[in-house]
């Protein structure tokens, strides 16, 4: 009896464990909706930035955004037990964050703070796909087809029309906007080349935490860090942190893992037209016919550039 029980116990010990249940895959419609959600949320950042820079200096707003978003994402990464980048990968993630966060938004927010309309900043940012395509082709070896170049051309025309109108341009603000564009484009390609293995949650937290001290030093050195309207500042900061900092960059990093950098970059063609539409809905700015035509052309350009 004891031998039978022993054999039974040994048989049970040697039995292979039952396979763990697989995690349910995301529905196809949810994956397909990611680019559209990304464009909508990304475009809303320009409206929030206009409101935020009216209430506080731009670099102070940028510092607050990075500090709060960095801590929030660090908590999310810790709770979800996301692996943190280490060694050389950590260095690449930090460089990516400084380019895509500190350079891009420090320059963009300062340009908006100097009076350059958010739509014009979105227009300059809209050239990101062309720059990414050139950089990705040179550094990553990604092949750009004739159809994609046609999409870039059509989308570029849509970008220009979407924000056409009589605007007062500031020379230094326009230069800063192109600096921000360069930071975004180079950072996107750099991440695709050197930081592909990093976890989305922890790496995005590192982006913000590495950029916050830089912005903190800059706002103390270059600005009078004083908030004039705490309600507007708090509302703008909450939106920028929760929606734009956490939501959009998690989506951006997710798409960069799944698609070629040049294809992800084409989504930025839609930003100016969607920004104009949101400005009309949120703050009552009239959507004129160039913006409508630009929206159509921008969508057509994305369709051409993104199709296989």
User: pLDDT per position in the chain (308 positions), as tens?
Assistant: 445 544 544 444 445 554 544 444 555 655 667 778 888 888 888 889 988 999 999 999 999 999 999 999 999 999 999 999 999 999 999 999 999 999 999 999 999 888 877 777 887 887 777 777 777 777 767 777 888 788 888 877 877 776 665 455 677 888 898 899 999 989 988 988 888 888 888 998 999 999 999 999 999 999 999 999 999 999 999 999 988 877 787 787 777 776 666 677 667 777 777 887 887 787 776 666 776 787 778 778 777 776 65
197, part of any domain: yes
Q: Give buried/exposed letters for 200-215 (b at 16+ CB in 10 A, else e).
A: bbbbbbbbbbbbbebb
32, part of any domain: no
4, part of any domain: no
Residue 123: give the domain boundaries. 37-306
11, part of any domain: no
268, part of any domain: yes
Type and span of the H or E element at 38: helix 28-55
22, part of any domain: no
Q: What is the pTM of this model?
A: 0.76
Q: What is the spatial distance between Cα 243 and Cα 191, in angstroms, rounded to a whole number? A: 22
10, part of any domain: no
What's the number of domains the chain is made of?
Answer: 1
Distances (CA, A) of 33 to 39, 41, 80, 212, 283: 10, 12, 24, 31, 26
16, part of any domain: no
- The answer to whether the Cα torsion of 236, 239, 242, 247 is positive or negative is negative
């Amino acid at each position: 009896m004891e031998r039978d029980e022993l054999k039974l116990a040994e048989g049970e010990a040697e039995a292979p464990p039952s396979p763990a249940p697989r995690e349910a895959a995301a529905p196809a419609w949810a994956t397909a909706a990611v680019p559209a959600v990304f464009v909508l949320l990304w475009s809303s950042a320009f409206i929030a930035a206009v409101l935020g820079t009216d209430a506080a200096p731009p670099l102070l707003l940028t510092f607050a955004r990075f500090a709060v978003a960095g801590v929030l994402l660090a908590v999310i990464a810790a709770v979800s037990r996301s692996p943190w980048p280490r060694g050389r990968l950590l260095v690449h993630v930090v460089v990516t964050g400084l380019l895509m966060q500190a350079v891009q938004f420090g320059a963009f927010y300062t340009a908006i703070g100097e009076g350059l309309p958010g739509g014009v900043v979105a227009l300059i940012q809209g050239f990101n796909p062309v720059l990414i395509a050139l950089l990705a082709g040179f550094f990553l070896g990604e092949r750009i087809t004739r159809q994609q170049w046609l999409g870039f051309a059509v989308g570029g025309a849509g970008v220009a029309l979407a924000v056409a109108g009589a605007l007062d341009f500031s020379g230094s603000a326009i230069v800063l906007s192109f600096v921000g564009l360069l930071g975004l484009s180079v950072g996107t390609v750099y991440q695709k080349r050197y930081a592909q293995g990093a976890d989305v949650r922890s790496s995005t937290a590192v982006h913000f935490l590495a950029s916050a001290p830089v912005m903190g030093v800059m706002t103390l050195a270059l600005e009078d860090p004083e908030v004039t309207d705490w309600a507007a500042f708090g509302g703008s900061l909450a939106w920028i942190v929760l929606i734009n900092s956490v939501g959009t960059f998690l989506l951006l990093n997710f798409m960069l893992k799944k698609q070629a950098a040049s294809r992800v970059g084409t989504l930025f063609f839609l930003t100016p037209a969607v920004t104009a539409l949101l400005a009309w809905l949120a703050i009552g700015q009239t959507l004129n016919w160039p913006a409508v035509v630009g929206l159509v052309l921008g969508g057509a350009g994305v369709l051409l550039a993104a199709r296989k």
